[in-house]
Amino acid sequence: MENLNTNNQNNTANLSTLCLPRMLPLKEVTYHTGLSSTTIYDMLDKKSKRYDPTFPIQVKLSKGRVAWVEGEIAEWLNDKIAARAH
């Protein structure tokens, strides 16, 4: 029994150190970037004049539901901010 408690504590410790990425729905991506949803999808479309290969690709979470990784959006914005100095 003592061994089981030790294993449970180890599993709990491992789960508490697990860092889950925060996922942003389109509405939050538009808010944080200041871009419209149309512009975002154009930036993802290789056939569009507004295509931007540096823009983060959405993650399909389920049928009809996508989201973006918050850290990737933040990194993209920080790269844009850094590029303005050059």
40: closest CA among 85, 5, 72?
A: 72
For 14-47, write each residue's pLDDT tens digit.
666 789 999 999 999 999 999 999 999 999 999 9
For 62-78, write each residue's pLDDT tens digit.
999 999 999 999 999 99
58: closest CA among 19, 23, 82, 10?
A: 23
* Tokens of residue 33, six digits: 């970037």
- What SS3 class is residue 56? coil
For 3-12, write each residue's pLDDT tens digit.
555 556 566 5
Where along the chain do its domains lie?
Answer: 21-83
Quote the pTM value. Answer: 0.77
Residue with token string 């850290």: 71
